[in-house]
Amino acid sequence: MAAETIFYIIVAGVISFALALFMYGYKVKQSKKLRWTFGILRFITLFSILLLLINPKFKSNTYSISKPKLPVLVDNSASINELDQSSNVLAFLENLQNNSDLNSKYDISYFSFGSDLSELDSLSFSEKNSNISKAIASIDELYENENTPYLLISDGNQTLGNDYEFSTSGIKNPIIPLILGDSTKYIDVKIQQLNTNRYAFLKNQFPVETILTYNGKEDVATSFVIKQGNSVLFRKNISFSKEENTRTLTFHLPATRTGLQKYTAQIIPLQEEKNKVNNSKLFAVEIIDQATNILIVSAISHPDVGMLKKSIETNEQRIVTIKKPTEAINLLNDTQLVILYQPDQSFNSFYKELNKQKLNSLLITGLQTDWNFLSNAQTEFKKEVTSQTENVLGFLNKNYGTFLIDDIGFEGFPPLKTKFGGLEILSQHEIILEQYVDGFSSETALLSTSEENGKRSAILDGEGFWRWRAQSYLNEKSFEKFDDFIGRMVQYLASSKRKSRLDVTNDAFYYNNQPILITAQFFDKNYVFDSRASLIIKTTNKETKATNEFPLLVKNNYYKVDLNTLPAGEYQYTVLVKNEPLSRSGSFSILDFNVEQQFLNADVTKLTSIATNTGGNAFFVNEKQLLIDSLLKDERFQQIQKSEQKVVPLIDWKYLLGLIVISLATEWFIRKYNGLI
């Protein structure tokens, strides 16, 4: 408390005493006893009121003991069951929860993980994938400022995500794995990996690549076959040895029928094998009659052009051809979409033919675009430009409803370059990305689509969007989201299908260890997206006739449902809109593939490696007590006494107000009792 405040309190005490003495010690007729009583009560009242006016502040210290955190990550994937370790996990967790010494030293939190990390509620050991890297990264984000060990209970077998052996190299806190399973090497041949296209074209051949591995010491021989139904389409004899334990086969299969074609790849099991599930794999290819041909016309070389081709062709149904304007005219008859990159005077003849055939198009403009020519060559877009350039950003129009678009982080993408001037779109259009300059909207479009008289077109007014794809990869560690955005725009522009009030999108087949997503869009009678509708999907298994019904949930400007609870099989579906006479039907297949059944033992090498690299120790499941003892003895993690100092003003002390009320009430009561009122 400051010296100045103490001085004021002393002055307040003197004033209170003087006033009380004056009021009850000078020419007062009451008895001496009453005068003393009234004087003391009045002194208390006056001094308390003056104290409230001075409002001194008091410091208080509180002390607490902070225990080190101990997050426990439990692998909830199906491979734990396959290795017969589920009972060991449950027994160990019960041991942790009941160990009073451990709970006294640590503040223990429990999490489970498969594809994602979540707080531990219950364990089913039925997750179809395990992402150890993501689980550890998520925990490290929660506890990055804590000095705490991470206890990882897992077999170390990962089916999704980055390699956790390397992705954990920057983690400062020690990781302590409890290894579920053993390092025993069983004799085994398996299909390690099988790669093929999702689509193939009729009367062509499609490539298949398979990697076969062998675990054993003796020389063995077996066969690898590809079957479709009862027909054997490919067979090859394979031999392995301890030294030559991997074989990579590359071959082609014929595409003879359109539609979804299912195949079974199998390596014939050895007699001594323990796990025969990993000897076969079901895969499928959708055979289509023709591809979507997309023509990119450009008179210049630019990274945007190469990026567009690569991004669009990630969908195997699409073939992209890049030509100069003079070479492209003869290809228009076989093209479903034309992409014009920065047109100039050399596009004159090409534009005349393009307008004549009324083909769908995507126009991309930039610093090398000749807008004087372009304004005369077509009637959809116009821009009054100057010699100045500007950097522009794109902000997503969340009310865009022509086709499905997710926000892939457009606002954080690098700026595009364009010529200074206002873009004017002369046809009825809808903006996908609004143009922003220096953080302010220019009230014009950066990317928009339009449809008039059955012809679809779009314009992107900026160059350098190859950086967008690179930035998307840095953000997501994958090109998938950006390529999906480009793919949806191309799908819309390359199609001549009339817009429907209810559109449903699904793949022809899914693997049951991946999300089974079906999306839909529903529009009102004015073709404005309606987020208030109630959509349901009814599925019927073609073989068992079992039916299920699921609601579709709204996300941005579309409805979505994940049918990953359905078992493998072939399904028919119908999407219905409640209280509307609208429905859409289709079919899809779910292929059975449980990657978690492919493992024979724990990945001891990787689990031991992450323990060593982070300063932890790895323990096998039969060393549970050693693990607990090491946690109790580890002096790196100690309880910390924390002190917290609080400054409390006297005006917050309610007891002083009570004291004033009591002293005044008591004085009034005594006066009343003695007939002085």
369: domain CATH number?
3.40.50.880
Beta-carbon contacts of 283 under 8 Å, excluding residues fewer than 6 positions away, are 194, 196, 262, 263, 264, 265, 591
Do residues 384 and 465 share a domain? yes
pLDDT at position 442 is: 83
The CATH number of residue 116's host domain is 3.40.50.410
Give the model confidence (pLDDT) of 257-278 as tens digits.
Answer: 888 899 999 999 998 888 888 8
Hey, what amino acid is at 408? I
Q: Which of 36-50, 202-216, 560-574, 577-591 shows the lowest per-residue confidence on average (mean pLDDT)?
A: 36-50
Dihedral pair phi/psi, residue 237, rounded to 5°? -80, 140
**What is the rounded end-to-end Cα distance, in angstroms, of the chain?**
42
pLDDT at position 26 is: 67
Do residues 471 and 419 share a domain? yes
Q: Which residue has the tokens 């529009």?
A: 523
The residue out of 253, 288, 323 marking a domain boundary is 288
Do residues 242 and 383 share a domain? no
pLDDT at position 137 is: 93
pLDDT at position 105 is: 93
pLDDT of residue 27 exceeding 70: no
Alpha-carbon torsion (326, 328, 331, 334), positive or negative: negative
Do residues 550 and 573 share a domain? yes
Do residues 124 and 180 share a domain? yes
Q: Note whether 619 and 182 are within 8 A (CB).
A: no
Do residues 409 and 522 share a domain? no
How would residue 375 be classed by pLDDT, with cut points 50, 70 and 90?
Answer: confident
pLDDT of residue 647 exceeding 90: no
Q: Which residue has the tokens 């199609």?
A: 495
List beta partners, residue 391: 417
* Triad 286, 571, 531: Cα angle to 5°: 95
Q: Note whether 175 and 152 are within 8 A (CB).
A: yes
Q: Which domain holds residue 660?
A: 3-62+645-673
Between CA 674 and CA 677 the distance in angstroms is 8
Q: Tokens in use for 631?
A: 């946690």
Number of domains in the chain: 5
DSSP state of 595: G
What is the rounded average pLDDT for all residues in the chain?
88
pLDDT of residue 614 exceeding 80: yes
**Torsion angle, alpha carbons of 163, 169, 173, 174, to 10:** 70
Do residues 103 and 115 share a domain? yes
Give the model confidence (pLDDT) of 488-510 as tens digits.
Answer: 899 889 887 767 889 898 888 89
H or E segment and range at residue 673? helix 654-673
pLDDT at position 489 is: 92
Quick one: average pLDDT of 557-579?
A: 92
Q: Tokens in use for 434?
A: 């609004």
Q: Which of 142-151, 337-346, 421-430 shows the lowest per-residue confidence on average (mean pLDDT)?
A: 421-430
* Triad 593, 596, 602: Cα angle to 5°: 155
pLDDT of residue 483 exceeding 70: yes
- The length of the chain in residues reads 677
What DSSP string runs through 472-486?
HHHHHSSSHHHHHHH
Share of the chain above pLDDT 70, in %: 99
- Supply the pTM of this predicted model: 0.64
Strands 280-288 and 199-201: parallel
DSSP state of 349: H
Dihedral class, residue 513 (left if φ above 0, else alpha if ψ from -120 to 50, else beta)? alpha
Query: Beta-strand (E) ranges in 120-185?
Result: 150-154, 175-179
Do residues 89 and 209 share a domain? no
pLDDT at position 17 is: 84
pLDDT at position 434 is: 92
How would residue 75 be classed by pLDDT, with cut points 50, 70 and 90?
Answer: very high
Whose CA is closest to 253, among 203, 311, 326? Answer: 203
Query: Beta-strand (E) ranges in 468-608?
Result: 502-505, 509-511, 517-522, 535-541, 547-551, 553-555, 558-562, 569-577, 583-591
> How many CB atoms neighbour CB 516 within 10 A?
19
Strand arrangement of the beta sheet that strand 205-215 belongs to: 188-196, 205-215, 246-254
Q: Tokens in use for 554?
A: 């709204």
The residue out of 256, 272, 288 marking a domain boundary is 288
Do residues 507 and 417 share a domain? no
How would residue 591 be classed by pLDDT, with cut points 50, 70 and 90?
Answer: confident
pLDDT at position 35 is: 78
Between CA 140 and CA 170 the distance in angstroms is 10
Between CA 84 and CA 564 the distance in angstroms is 25
Q: Note whether 660 and 48 are within 8 A (CB).
A: yes
The CATH number of residue 265's host domain is 2.60.40.10
pLDDT of residue 367 exceeding 80: yes
The residue out of 469, 494, 519 marking a domain boundary is 494
Q: Which residue has the tokens 């129009």?
A: 397
Dihedral class, residue 497 (left if φ above 0, else alpha if ψ from -120 to 50, else beta)? beta
pLDDT at position 28 is: 67
Residue 188 exposed, middle or buried by CB count within 10 Å (0-12, 13-18, 19+): buried
More confident site: 607 or 498 = 607
Quick one: average pLDDT of 620-626?
A: 92
Query: What is the crossing angle of helices 480-494 and 303-312, to 10°?
Result: 80
Between CA 198 and CA 454 the distance in angstroms is 31
Do residues 317 and 405 share a domain? yes
Do residues 669 and 623 share a domain? no
Q: Which of 51-55, 560-564, 630-634 shows the lowest per-residue confidence on average (mean pLDDT)?
A: 51-55
Strands 640-649 and 619-620: unpaired
Between CA 373 and CA 73 the distance in angstroms is 63
Give the model confidence (pLDDT) of 216-263 as tens digits.
Answer: 889 999 999 999 988 999 999 999 998 999 999 999 999 988 888 999
Q: Note whether 220 and 189 are within 8 A (CB).
A: yes
Between CA 337 and CA 316 the distance in angstroms is 16
Share of the chain above pLDDT 90, in %: 52
Do residues 101 and 17 share a domain? no
Quick one: average pLDDT of 140-159?
A: 92
